[in-house]
Amino acid sequence: MSLFLEVVSVSEAVEAIRRIAPPPRYEEVPLEDALHRVLARDVAADIDIPGFDRSTVDGYAVAAAETTGASEAIPAMLRCQGRIGMGSADAGTVSPGSCRYVPTGGALPRGTDAAVMIEHAEQIGDDVLVHRPVAPGENVVFRGEDFAAGKTALTRGRVLSPRDIGVAAAVGADRVSVAKRPRIGIISTGNELVAVADTPGPGEVRDANSYLAGAFVTERGCHPVYFGIVRDERSMLKKAVASALEQCDAVLVSGGSSKDERDNTAAVITELGEVLVHGIALAPGKPTIIGTAGGKPVIGLPGHPASAYVVLVAVVDYLLAAMHDTTVSRRTIRARLVQNISSTRGREDYVRVSLKNGEATPVFGKSGLLNTLVQSEGLVRIPASSEGLEVGEEVEVILW
């Protein structure tokens, strides 16, 4: 057995990991619990929204044609035929030469097709002086103009934002069908690991990866299930992975993913199923494993948290999105590089950068330092085909 990994490209790894994503299951949830969930079925308007011609201002409902040419100097004069009550079932009819006061959201009476803002009119007794003309439809939303009955308001696969939730409410979706939160088993392996509440002795470190991976999958709408720290013994790791597979939809194992003799993850996956990828042309993050067992993905992450996090962002994110039947939605911004970054051709490099005033500065210090995770705002990806990026270049920063 070679000591070296046979690496695949990042795009091959992403393709492999998407292919093994188990299809999502669905559930109905009350709309108020649906924030950030992934919509499983289109949401359509049940009726015309709005259900009637509606003013968007406080003012006077008018026939627009009767305001043509109105000005401060020569206002149009209309007779005010009272006031429209909010929510009243019938806004009535306005006769030619007349208007009616309408509050924001009120229904337009028959005979009118626009609303004059109260700021642009003056009421004197029963007369209303209109100082500015309005066009037909001005300050009005017509029946069905927002969403016609049956029209799709929100498409499946959408991660529901607060605005989406508001729109779903408007079109009557008090319950929505969403992808169930996948359960992701999380295991850390390594003889050097101690629990976070413990004080590491010489040669020991705390298990940061369980928390890091747990928070990452939570942020992406999954439910983390923690299986704790497992020592570098194949039988123990196998037992832990098998147990996680029983309870979860996918399993992340951090540590033991390289080819050192203490590394058991690949062997355990092979015993339980199949290793598809062992090694990705990615820095940091090369010792990564993509496998399946019992139809469920089992992913081996590098033991170092900074490397593990790059793999979560660059590769695992695509698995979690596919498990929700949605796409990875990344926030990226463009920034100017303030210093050269060299890179190795044939390998996709992810360089941590801090951002300020549109400038991206590579974070100094060794990539193995955890503190780079909190001192950087994002990652600059250097494609495998490139030998580096030059100062002054505009780069895309993945905000992480």
159-198 binders of a copy of itself (CB under 8 A): 160-174, 190-193, 195-197
Check if the beta carbon of residue 351 is closer than 8 Å to that of residue 310.
no
Angle, alpha carbons 368-374-378 (nearest 5°) = 90
From 15-23, 69-77, 212-220, 239-247, span contacting a copy of itself (CB under 8 A): 212-220
Q: Which of 210, 264, 288, 343 contacts a copy of itself by CB under 8 A? A: 210
From 32-40, 289-297, 320-328, 343-351, span contacting a copy of itself (CB under 8 A): 32-40
Position 354 contacts a copy of itself (CB under 8 A): no
Position 331 contacts a copy of itself (CB under 8 A): yes
Whole-number Å distance between alpha carbons of 375 and 42:
40
Residue 286 beta carbon to a copy of itself: minimum distance, rounded to whole angstroms = 10
DSSP states along 225-277: EEEEEE-S-HHHHHHHHHHHHHH-SEEEEES--SSSTT--HHHHHHHHSEEEE
Per CB under 8 A, contacts with a copy of itself among 288-327 are 302-305, 309
Check if the beta carbon of residue 279 is closer than 8 Å to that of residue 5.
yes
Position 364 contacts a copy of itself (CB under 8 A): no
Q: Which of 77, 129, 205, 267 contacts a copy of itself by CB under 8 A? A: 205
Which alpha helices (H) appear in 149-233, and where do they start and end? 162-170, 209-219
Q: Which of 36, 156, 183, 223 contacts a copy of itself by CB under 8 A? A: 36
Strand partners, 380: 351, 397
From 60-68, 144-152, 242-250, 292-300, span contacting a copy of itself (CB under 8 A): 144-152
Residue 67 beta carbon to a copy of itself: minimum distance, rounded to whole angstroms = 18
Per CB under 8 A, contacts with a copy of itself among 49-108 are 49-52, 54, 56, 58, 85-91, 103-107
User: What's phi and psi for 36, nearest 5 deg?
Assistant: 70, 5
Cis omega before residue 50 (within 30°)?
A: yes
Per CB under 8 A, contacts with a copy of itself among 242-261 are 258-260
Q: CA of 334: how far to CAs of 118, 122, 167, 385, 390, in Å?
A: 44, 51, 31, 20, 15
3-state secondary structure of 374: helix
Q: Which is nearer to a copy of itself, 120 or 293 (CB)?
A: 120
